[in-house]
Structure 1
């Protein structure tokens, strides 16, 4: 068909912990983001749009990979690579920031999450930030350890996001400010819950910290969301 290209998935492309769940949910199209397969539509663009606008949707955004930076120089290193002032970034808070090269060109625009005094995640857009930061830190002799942790975000978006989150976690989620986060568990699944997301309709991101429990987390949220007519989204 004109305008369509078939390609073969290979082992070079990673599947998210939610991949099988998205297939069961009817994912029709995918894109490649951070070397990972990410769904881009389910019922079609218009139907997916109205599901997001009117109810609540669950998004596989595991391709939003994390770059973890720890060590005695972690804070200074993260400040070094971004043009944003992080002096007021609290533990338990995230900030949108630009990572720039030596000429001011944009390499990536992650959310920077601060988990400790010298413990950060860069929740990245689509580029090889892990390799770039490792090379930079090594070449300049920074005392940091940089890795990609077993962390995969799942987003809850749409006007009914808060009632669903209250059902899942309780009243404390109402107190999370935008871009702030809290470590918790849901039915034994380790998570970080952050008030954020890829849409303007408001919502939360659940940072799954154990990829082996991806199917369980997806199914738990979808079951709780039935009363709000939850749909998969992208």
Structure 2
């Protein structure tokens, strides 16, 4: 009787061990991309096709999501402290007046595609989604010339007109406006309306990229939560 009980106990223990091993394997495969591809009906070839298309493009400009805004930059005596000697005319003007300029800015968004691997994406029923955040590079550039808005007296006087007619002086003010450009990128990429535009048009642009010369149409789904915005503009 004891021998029967002992044998039965060994058999139960063996079954438990087998079940534990099976459960461990299933748990591992459940999160494995290859396993998902097989059981969801999507082939390895489709994943390789998507990654290959992305890697060839490196970056994708989301043209329709571009933002056109204006930014103002103020100059005062503190900002002129370290300016070179040749700018003395401008500096003297700013010491006696707070000068403010308006800068037209265009902000562009570029998707970083180079480092996307098969583990970053999921394809189910021909719908592509992203498992890890997509990096969006935010780049603002001055679009057009600077416009002097006012001095501390509220008008642009003749002295200011002298500065605006000096090409070198205006180029210098342009250069010193880089901080405003940087701040524009920070401001734009933090706004929900622009984030939604990027998500919407990025989905459409990626679909065009993937479905070009392909009969197997793939839809792309991108939410704002799938995007990570990065300001690539230099500070002054």
TM-score bracket, shorter-length normalisation: under 0.3
Q: TM-score, normalized by length of structure 1? A: 0.23
In terms of fraction of residues, the more strand-rich structure is: 1
* Larger-Rg structure: 2
Q: TM-score, normalized by length of structure 2? A: 0.23
In terms of fraction of residues, the more helix-rich structure is: 2
